[in-house]
């Protein structure tokens, strides 16, 4: 029997002899590889923290001790060790466990982490709460990695953590990767630290002394620390960033030596105050293909667990919207030298890498820093360039103030391309792009566009870079479009103008974006000429002329959107109806006023009531 078979909780783990932990790590890694081959997920990051996960649960008293994973997709081994071993096979599926830590799912998930760079703030809050509650022995540990340390919020938290003397441990899981390789000054700094052989030898010597704190007087302890810090500065030719912020720095250490990690974590428990342990890990550790191609194997889909061959099941004939964006941006940039591309650590995820390959000097990966990405784009636009800033819809939530204050208020021509809008599928509630239509609709001076197909995406991108267009939002979904022949000539789109796709005389259906595709199919099964279909195309400015036409003719109206019904297209239509004193029966379909779980996109649209079948059923009830 495998060791893992006997482990259902961290209490079971603590009964395993230390000399058997390496074997246990191998078994956990094999389970992750085997289960993700059949039911895909975020593979690379979780393979890289198996040893660290085992060591943490072996030493800490979880769930009493707070353990926070950031980013959340590195938590698979954690889930396996905390009572979800059998459920792990159904992760990210409708009704199954989440692919991220989720407080409502397990007491071992101290904090939900789907977006990055939040762990240090949360852990600091928990550490202070423990002090205020008189829980002196309670540990708070933040494991931050896979690019999360490049996020500005992490630095805000570090700056604050250093002024408190709470029992906080930050573990920097340094694998030099997010989805794509890490970029920026922090990454260069960490590489310097990790590769300085002289410093590492010194660190080992000093570590031996500091490990005997309980036998050294406070005065001698401070003396040793001062010598340590001074020599570090000389050898690294710079001060230690973390210690300058008031945190004790330890490392770098081998993040795959589980026995050494156990010893280090036990030693660190004896050292009070805020601390940072720098662990060097390999993303995809233990699976040859994942180690060799870390970007592809971040979330590879299905694969053969023996050969590492990726399995492509019935590849679609139509392109992904993200690839249409990538190819179209390059096409536009070739013609317009003012166009530049910006993304916060997602060049492959949003397909900016297509332009980046040909025009690297005009593309900027700014790291996991959405706020900076938007204001950086505003600075470019202020000097006459035309930035296409591509940020996933759910991540754009983090840069809301920057859009209002730095872009919209100043009327700058920044093109905000929101990938993964609407229901994204198995990543679940933290990643659904549910709110962008609602949260941008109230901002003055912004154009909000949503293409129903690839051709419209191209034309909207073309229109956004024409003179005097101002702040311009284009939102589009995750996944494939509906057109095989999508590379059509670029044409200007008249801003604020929708169109009638199907004539009818009993019900008017108003859609925005790709919701038109399902609506068109549902209407096709309805009695002929009974239902009209209108694609509004722009949520802002609204096509009021078209809406007047609709409300003068119809007393039954349905709106459909791949976004929240609270504040989105349906709300805009109701406001228009009230403002102009029309009277009609209006039915609104979209994402309801609740957080939607994980599952396939089709399953979730059905759950929310705006898939083809649900639209058809609702239309028949309105007809009758």
Share in percent of the chain as helix, strand, coil (round to 5): 45, 15, 40
For the chain, what is the largest distance between any 2 Cα atoms, rounded to a whole number of angstroms?
A: 89
Residues forming beta bridges with residue 392, ordered by sequence position? 419
To the query of whether residue 398 is one of the catalytic residues in this protein, the response is yes
To the query of whether residue 503 is one of the catalytic residues in this protein, the response is no
Count of C-beta atoms within a 10 Å radius of residue 121: 20
To the query of whether residue 588 is one of the catalytic residues in this protein, the response is no
Six token digits for residue 459: 């034309």
In terms of Cα–Cα distance, which of 54, 143, 148 is closest to 367?
A: 148
Distance of alpha carbon 305 from alpha carbon 309, whole angstroms: 8
| Set 84, 85, 283, 475: catalytic member | 283
Give the three-class secondary structure for 67: strand
Q: What sign has the CA pseudo-torsion 460, 466, 469, 471?
A: positive
Angle CA 531–600–74, to nearest 5:
150
Distance of alpha carbon 291 from alpha carbon 278, whole angstroms: 20
Angle between the N-to-C axes of helices 515-524 and 612-623, in degrees from 0 to 180, rounded to the nearest 10: 50
Tokens 């079971």, located at residue? 12
Distance of alpha carbon 545 from alpha carbon 534, whole angstroms: 12
Q: How far is CA 89 from CA 31, 129, 472, in A?
A: 9, 35, 42
Distance of alpha carbon 41 from alpha carbon 26, whole angstroms: 19
Would you say 401 and 73 are in contact if contact means Cβ atoms under 8 Å apart? no
In terms of Cα–Cα distance, which of 490, 496, 477 is closest to 572?
A: 496
**DSSP notation for 220-281:** HHHHHHHHHHHHHHHHHTS--HHHHTT-EEEEEEETT-HHHHHHHHHHHHTS-S-EEEEEE-
Rg, the chain, Cα only: 27
CB-hemisphere CA count at 13 Å for 375?
Answer: 10
Count of C-beta atoms within a 10 Å radius of residue 102: 22
| Set 91, 102, 248, 398: catalytic member | 398
Would you say 522 and 510 are in contact if contact means Cβ atoms under 8 Å apart? no
| Set 29, 79, 370, 520: catalytic member | 370
Looking at the chain, how many residues does it have? 624
Active-site residue list: 283, 370, 398
């Amino acid at each position: 029997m495998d060791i893992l078979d006997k482990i259902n909780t961290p209490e079971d783990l603590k009964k395993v002899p230390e000399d058997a932990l390496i074997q246990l790590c191998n078994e956990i890694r094999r389970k992750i590889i085997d289960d993700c081959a059949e039911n895909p997920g975020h593979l690379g990051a979780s393979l890289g923290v198996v040893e660290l996960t085992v060591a943490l649960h072996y030493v800490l008293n979880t769930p009493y001790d707070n353990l926070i994973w950031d980013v959340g997709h590195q938590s698979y081994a954690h889930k396996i060790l905390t009572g979800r071993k059998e459920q792990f096979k159904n992760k990210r599926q409708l009704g199954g466990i989440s692919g991220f830590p989720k407080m409502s799912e397990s007491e071992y998930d101290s904090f939900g982490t789907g977006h990055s760079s939040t762990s240090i703030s949360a852990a600091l809050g928990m550490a202070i709460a423990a002090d205020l509650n008189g829980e002196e022995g309670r540990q708070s540990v933040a494991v931050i990695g896979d690019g999360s340390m490049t996020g500005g919020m992490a630095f805000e938290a570090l700056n604050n953590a250093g002024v408190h003397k709470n029992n906080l441990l930050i573990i920097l899981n340094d694998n030099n990767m997010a989805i794509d390789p890490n970029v920026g000054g922090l990454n260069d700094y960490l590489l310097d630290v990790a590769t300085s052989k002289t410093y590492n030898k010194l660190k080992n010597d000093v570590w031996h002394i500091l490990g005997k704190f309980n036998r050294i007087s406070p005065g001698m302890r401070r003396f040793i620390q001062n010598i340590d810090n001074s020599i570090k500065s000389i050898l690294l030719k710079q001060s230690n960033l973390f210690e300058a912020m008031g945190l004790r720095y330890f490392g770098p250490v081998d993040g795959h030596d589980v026995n050494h990690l156990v010893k280090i974590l036990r030693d660190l428990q004896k050292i009070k105050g805020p601390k940072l342990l720098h662990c060097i890990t390999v993303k995809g550790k233990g699976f040859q293909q994942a180690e060799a191609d870390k970007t592809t194997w971040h979330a590879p889909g299905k694969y053969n667990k023996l050969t590492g061959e990726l399995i492509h099941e019935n590849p679609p004939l139509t392109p992904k919207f993200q690839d249409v964006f990538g190819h179209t941006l390059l096409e536009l940039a070739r013609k317009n030298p003012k166009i530049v591309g910006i993304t916060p650590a997602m060049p492959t995820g949003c397909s900016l890498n297509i332009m980046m390959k040909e025009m690297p000097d005009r593309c900027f990966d700014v790291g996991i820093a959405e706020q900076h990405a938007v204001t950086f784009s505003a600075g470019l636009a202020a000097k006459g360039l035309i930035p296409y800033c591509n940020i996933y819809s759910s991540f754009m939530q983090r840069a809301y103030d920057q859009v209002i204050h730095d872009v919209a208020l100043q009327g700058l021509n920044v093109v905000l391309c929101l990938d993964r809008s609407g229901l994204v599928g198995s990543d679940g509630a933290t990643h659904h792009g549910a709110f962008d239509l609602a949260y941008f609709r109230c901002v003055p001076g912004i154009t909000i566009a949503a293409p129903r197909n690839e051709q419209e995406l191209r034309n909207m991108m073309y229109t956004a870079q024409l003179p005097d267009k101002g702040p311009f939002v284009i939102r589009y979904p995750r996944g494939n479009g509906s057109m095989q022949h999508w590379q059509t000539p670029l044409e200007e789109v008249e801003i604020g103008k929708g169109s009638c796709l199907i004539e009818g005389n009993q019900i008017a259906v108003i859609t925005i974006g790709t919701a038109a595709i399902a609506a068109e199919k549902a209407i096709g099964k309805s009695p002929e000429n009974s239902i009209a279909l209108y694609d509004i195309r722009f949520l802002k400015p609204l096509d009021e002329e078209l809406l007047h036409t609709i409300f003068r003719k119809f007393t039954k109206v349905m709106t459909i959107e791949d976004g929240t019904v609270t504040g989105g297209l349906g709300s805009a239509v109701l406001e228009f109806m009230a403002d102009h004193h029309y009277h009609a029966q209006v039915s609104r379909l979209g994402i309801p006023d609740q957080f939607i779980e994980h599952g396939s996109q089709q399953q979730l649209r059905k759950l929310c009531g705006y898939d083809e079948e649900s639209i058809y059923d609702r239309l028949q009830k309105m007809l009758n």
